[in-house]
């Protein structure tokens, strides 16, 4: 039998405001924290790509067996943008988000979470 992906996944799109300069200017900490966060939902990391911008700013993309996660920092605004897309289920990624929030300590979070349906009705 051919593997079929679950019909509905989950997308988390989030801006975290009020993160300290120390945290945002520490790519090593950000990378380790994102990877640890992804362990909280037992995601499987298959690839990574990251970049340290000059004079500041850090981007990291993580390719998951379950789709992807990304972070982008804006030290000039003390903010960070986090995206997670998991094709595994419609409520996936909550532990990852919670861990990130605990470690990055933002003062304010704007979060949008929504289901991503990869089937059409005739595939139900």
Range 11-49 burial, b when 16+ CB lie within 10 A, else e: bbebbbeebeeebbbebeebbebbeebbeebebeeeeee
Can you tell me which of 20, 25, 27, 57 binds a copy of itself, judged by CB under 8 A? 57
C-beta separation of 56 from 76 below 8 A: yes
Q: CB 116 → a copy of itself: shortest distance, Å?
A: 6
- Residue 120 is a binding residue for a copy of itself (CB under 8 A): yes
Can you tell me which of 27, 79, 96, 111 binds a copy of itself, judged by CB under 8 A? 79
Q: Given 68, 72, 83, 89, which residue is catalytic?
A: 72
What lies within 8 Å, CB to CB, of 50 at 6+ separation is: 27, 31, 58, 59, 60, 61
Annotation says 87 is catalytic: yes
Can you tell me which of 31, 40, 72, 101 binds a copy of itself, judged by CB under 8 A? 72
Residues near a copy of itself, by CB under 8 A? 2-5, 7, 9, 11, 13, 15, 17-18, 46-51, 53, 55-57, 59, 61, 63, 65, 67-68, 70, 72, 74, 76-77, 79, 81, 83, 85, 87, 108, 110, 112, 114, 116-120, 123
């Amino acid at each position: 039998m051919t593997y079929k992906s679950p019909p509905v996944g989950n997308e988390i799109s989030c801006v975290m405001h009020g993160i300290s300069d120390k945290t945002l200017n520490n790519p090593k900490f950000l990378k380790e924290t994102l990877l640890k966060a992804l362990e909280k939902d037992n995601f499987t990391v298959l690839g990574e790509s990251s970049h340290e911008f000059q004079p500041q700013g850090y981007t990291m993309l993580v390719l998951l067996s379950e789709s992807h996660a990304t972070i982008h920092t804006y030290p000039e605004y003390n903010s960070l943008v986090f995206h997670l897309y998991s094709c595994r289920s419609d409520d996936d990624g909550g532990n990852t988000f919670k861990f990130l929030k605990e470690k990055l300590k933002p003062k304010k979070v704007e979060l949008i979470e929504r289901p991503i349906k990869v089937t059409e009705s005739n595939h139900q």
